[in-house]
A and B are shown apart, each in its own frame.
Chain A
Amino acid sequence: MTTTVTAGSMAGTRSGESGLERQRARAAFWFLVPMLAMLAFVAAWPLLRSIMLSLTDADANTIFSGSYEWVGFDNYLRAQERADGTIRWRGVLVDASWWNAVWNTIRFAVMSVTLETILGLLVALVLHAEFRGRGLVRAAILIPWAIPTIVSARMWGWMFNDQYGIINHMLLSVGLIDAPIAWTARPDTAMIAVLIVDVWKTTPFMALLILAGLQMIPKEMYEAAKLDGIHPVRVFFRVTLPLLKPALMVAVIFRLLDALRIFDLIYVLTPRSSSTVTMSVISFQNIREFGDYAEGSAQSTILFLIILVFVTLYIWLGRVDLSGERSR
């Protein structure tokens, strides 16, 4: 509907006011230039540069001198012929540690976003109800989100500590465990620890996004259902949830993008744990610690492509209306 209106008005102006229209387009362009320039500088250029580096053999010694060479897709996949004639495949795409990181990242993203969505929805529903001091609670619930990740990761690191951590202390004293657990160090608990911290930290954000969506639903929808005597659970699934879907989808996209590039929490809470290392962490390690700019860049590029695929799939499957036009 919007498109037809726009088309109609354009057709109308073409005859008489095309000069004015051109002037407007020019003005709009100049207003956009600073933003476009900024985006090109901070987003497009680094992205292109990283993709470019992934096609070279750059390392810490050559990156600044510019003496690295073009190697095509060798960083991704290349065949290496051994002395005995057998062919060995090398590159990121056949690297087990890389695929371990991919799997970790996806596992983390799916689990954390699922948990945060469900918990966030519950919290939002509570905050949507009217009670005394609601404003204060709404502000207070944002505290975990407001604390810098490094700080909260350290904080939780201490709480998870096997020697003097409060979590082990509490579990021991209620008798749930017999011996302290090194939460962040053990391969089978490290991911759980990361998930707990991430859910703790990000649920408030999710809750507020969903709350904003809840507040968009007109009160009369609920009143009409009340007059019809529809059970609240049915109202939730048949009215609230469908009407909340656009907000929920946007919230999940935000979180999914965030979760797929998780770095800081894992880097601080569980460094060197292969059961939590993610794509961002492994790429960072390659570049900063091993100075392997080429391989790190290749991994970054693949990470970018994976996120692109995820989001495209999600938007396509969920028909997310990011422009907000259809919900009108």
Chain B
Amino acid sequence: MANIQLRNVVKAFGAAKVIKGVDLEIRRGEFMVFVGPSGCGKSTLLRLIAGLETITSGDLLFDGERMNSVLPSKRGIAMVFQSYALYPHMTVYENMAFGMKLAGASKEELDARVRRAARMLQIDHLLERLPRQLSGGQRQRVAIGRAITRDPRVFLFDEPLSNLDAALRVATRLEIAKLHHEMRDVTMIYVTHDQVEAMTLADRICVLRDGRVEQVGTPAELYDHPANLFVAGFIGSPRMNFIEGPIAAEHGCATLGVRSEHLDLVSEEEGTWTGRVVHAEDLGSDNYLFVDMGLSEPVIVRQPGKVAVAMGEQVWLRPQPGRLHRFDGNGQPIPVPMAAE
């Protein structure tokens, strides 16, 4: 229910600046994901918004109201921690109700809110259990349920899936997406280092590096129009192929970027580039061919379905028209889209 604005926010721990001036607007009801490599300051930024850390300089506004010195509990936020932070000696019900007992809610209202949240997450049959009697996925739901019970304006998630195994992570990701659809007016901010989580959950993604915002945009914007070399390399799996040297020079840039799915295997006559297959990864639905074109790293080519290519075989590649990304020597994109080759 809140529109969040960060204006030139800086956070320093002693002499070390962790957040180096962040300007960002998070719209009401939006699912915003902070993503970036470890140490980029994404968790710190979330903690600044939560009020668990103090802002060194700059402004934090919720609906135009300055929040810098407002107590965390008065900001109308709820947070899901990476470790879940459930109280081990309290039952699920007590965990969900604990923070609200002081909020002035009547017993009936409290009970109704806990049960509504529990139903929403299908944990109503677990209310009398202790956290240690729950599986990782169930604990995660309780942590989310505890946050829902608060009826927050802003929902904060700090890497909530990183303690779950791969299968559960996908399932819980779905749950969180569903939650976002059910709670349309609650602003959600989600921190992760996993760009797949970012791509699948976000309305908009904020890519951070070294305490600065690299790019903010929808997943599609980031994928199709990365603002710089870093974002181009960070978003997308497998990583975008970066080609330097003479081939890049031919296209009038320092680095030429092309995603693996935008390269086609073609016949010798149609081929633009050529190289030898040095490695292949068969994922069942897709095949990733690693083609050595005499560059520092092999170029990855994604081929749907089964491809019968022998190791060491010479192949010819052609980039799909309009799918090349050109970057100058500073890693900035050269805006004019490439014409078809």
- With A223-B52, A226-B73: A218-B85 Cβ-Cβ less than 8 Å: yes
Measured between beta carbons, the chain A residues less than 8 angstroms from B51 are 227
* Partner pick for A230 among B78, B88, B99, B146, CB 8 A cutoff: B99
Cβ–Cβ contact A218 & B102, under 8 A = no
Contact with B along A211-233 (1 / 0, CB 8 A): 00000001011011111111100
* Partner pick for A218 among B79, B83, B89, CB 8 A cutoff: B83
A242 vs B131: C-alpha distance when bound (angstroms): 15
Contact with A along B74-104 (1 / 0, CB 8 A): 1001110111110111000000001110110
Cβ–Cβ contact A226 & B89, under 8 A = no
* Partner pick for A239 among B52, B87, B132, CB 8 A cutoff: B87
Measured between beta carbons, the chain A residues less than 8 angstroms from B85 are 218, 220-221, 223-224
- With A218-B85, A221-B85, A243-B88: A226-B102 Cβ-Cβ less than 8 Å: no
A238 CB–B CB distance under 8 Å:
yes
Residues of A221-270 whose CB lies within 8 A of B: 221, 223-231, 234, 238-239, 242-243
Measured between beta carbons, the chain A residues less than 8 angstroms from B73 are 226-230
- With A221-B85, A239-B87: A227-B132 Cβ-Cβ less than 8 Å: no
Cβ–Cβ contact A227 & B72, under 8 A = yes
Contact with A along B106-126 (1 / 0, CB 8 A): 000000000000000000000
Cβ–Cβ contact B52 & A238, under 8 A = no
A328 CB–B CB distance under 8 Å:
yes
Name the distance in Å between B336's Cβ and chain A's nearest Cβ.
Answer: 48
B50 CB–A CB distance under 8 Å:
yes
Cβ–Cβ contact A238 & B72, under 8 A = no
Cβ–Cβ contact B81 & A224, under 8 A = yes
Measured between beta carbons, the chain A residues less than 8 angstroms from B103 are 228-229
Measured between beta carbons, the chain B residues less than 8 angstroms from A242 are 87, 89
Knowing that A218-B85, A221-B87 touch, tell me 7 more A-B residue pairs with CB under 8 angstroms.
A220-B85, A223-B79, A225-B99, A226-B73, A227-B72, A229-B102, A230-B99
Q: Which of A226, A239, A328 has the most CB of B within 10 A?
A: A226
A239 vs B86: C-alpha distance when bound (angstroms): 10
Measured between beta carbons, the chain B residues less than 8 angstroms from A228 are 73, 98-100, 102-103, 150
Q: Tell me the count of chain A residues lying within 8 A, CB to CB, of chain B.
A: 19
Cβ–Cβ contact B71 & A229, under 8 A = yes
- With A221-B85, A239-B87, A242-B89: A227-B79 Cβ-Cβ less than 8 Å: yes
- With A221-B85, A243-B88: A231-B50 Cβ-Cβ less than 8 Å: no
Cβ–Cβ contact A230 & B50, under 8 A = no
A328 vs B83: C-alpha distance when bound (angstroms): 14
Cβ–Cβ contact A220 & B83, under 8 A = yes
Cβ–Cβ contact A328 & B79, under 8 A = no
Measured between beta carbons, the chain A residues less than 8 angstroms from B84 are 220
Cβ–Cβ contact B89 & A243, under 8 A = yes
Measured between beta carbons, the chain B residues less than 8 angstroms from A231 are 102
A229 vs B100: C-alpha distance when bound (angstroms): 9
Name the distance in Å between A79's Cβ and chain B's nearest Cβ.
Answer: 54
A154 vs B72: C-alpha distance when bound (angstroms): 53
Contact with B along A293-328 (1 / 0, CB 8 A): 000000000000000000000000000000000011
A224 vs B102: C-alpha distance when bound (angstroms): 14
Cβ–Cβ contact B52 & A230, under 8 A = no
Measured between beta carbons, the chain B residues less than 8 angstroms from A327 are 88
Name the distance in Å between A50's Cβ and chain B's nearest Cβ.
Answer: 42
The residue on A at minimum CB distance from B156 is A227
A238 vs B97: C-alpha distance when bound (angstroms): 13
A293 vs B79: C-alpha distance when bound (angstroms): 68
A243 vs B88: C-alpha distance when bound (angstroms): 8
* Partner pick for B50 among A218, A225, A227, CB 8 A cutoff: A227
- With A221-B85, A238-B98: A227-B77 Cβ-Cβ less than 8 Å: yes
A238 vs B95: C-alpha distance when bound (angstroms): 11
Measured between beta carbons, the chain B residues less than 8 angstroms from A230 are 73, 98-99, 102
The residue on A at minimum CB distance from B75 is A227
A40 vs B99: C-alpha distance when bound (angstroms): 54
Residues of B3-42 whose CB lies within 8 A of A: none
Cβ–Cβ contact B132 & A229, under 8 A = no
16 cross-chain CB contacts under 8 A: A220-B82, A223-B79, A224-B85, A226-B52, A226-B72, A227-B52, A227-B99, A228-B102, A229-B71, A229-B73, A229-B99, A230-B98, A230-B102, A242-B89, A243-B89, A327-B88
